[in-house]
Amino acid sequence: MSLELFGHPFSSYTWKALIALYDTKTPFEFRNIAGDQYPENEAAFLDHWPVGKFPLLVEEGVPTMESSIIIERVAPRLVPADPASALEARMLDRIFDNHVMTPVQAIVSEHLPFITEKPDEARIARARAALDKVYPWLDSRLAGRQWAAGEEFTVADCAGAPSLFYADWVQRIPEALASLKAYRARVLARPSVARVVDEARPYRALFPLGAPDRD
């Protein structure tokens, strides 16, 4: 079985799939589509998925889109066997993507000159308000848990790590939310997560709001 993952080393959703692959020690080939350096990778990627959203998994020529589905394909054990635990893990995965990463992407894209000439301050304010609402909810939900969905490292953590990594860069998690801050630190220390953070260091200058000197 040959697995190829197309993605960008600084992309949050690429991290999500990479964390699952690294954590489960699944062999694969990374097809980097960063910038103009790898035109053959970009062409093959767009050939499989003209929508152009990454990551994309290609297995023996057959593409799979969407990071959560890629994880279920390559690392099924990251979804718990018990149905109630599986539901919790999938729900947290959706919450991190839709209610943390989506507002983060909105704020970041409003600062990308090739997407917008002048930042839409109202959109940025709405995204910041969304983060302000979800942070305390996450803090309560994660209290007393080792990992996002309980005692097991799951797909929810693959989503939680990149979304909270970047969320804290655009809107600092308040000190008072100790469980959420501790979870972020814990998940960033996991070797599979530390590896994607390290591999992305050369790309930090790309962060349009300016990467903070930490993490």
Query: Site residues (CB under 6 A) for ligand GSH?
Result: 11-13, 52-55, 66-67
Shortest distance, CB of residue 162 to ligand GSH, whole angstroms? 8
Shortest distance, CB of residue 197 to ligand GSH, whole angstroms? 15
Shortest distance, CB of residue 7 to ligand GSH, whole angstroms? 8
Which residue number, 53 or 201, has a Cβ lying nearer to ligand GSH? 53
Shortest distance, CB of residue 52 to ligand GSH, whole angstroms? 5
Which residue number, 51 or 189, has a Cβ lying nearer to ligand GSH? 51
Which residue number, 21 or 177, has a Cβ lying nearer to ligand GSH? 21
Which residue number, 155 or 180, has a Cβ lying nearer to ligand GSH? 155
Query: What DSSP assignment string belongs to the chain?
Result: --EEEEE-TT-HHHHHHHHHHHHTT---EEEE--TTT-HHHHHHHHHH-TT--S-EEEETTEEEESHHHHHHHH-GGGS-SSHHHHHHHHHHHHHIIIIIIHHHHHHHHTT-TTT-SS--HHHHHHHHHHHHHHHHHHHHHHTT-SBTTBSS--HHHHHHHHHHHHHHHHSPPPTT-HHHHHHHHHHHHSHHHHHHHHHTGGGGGG-TT---S--
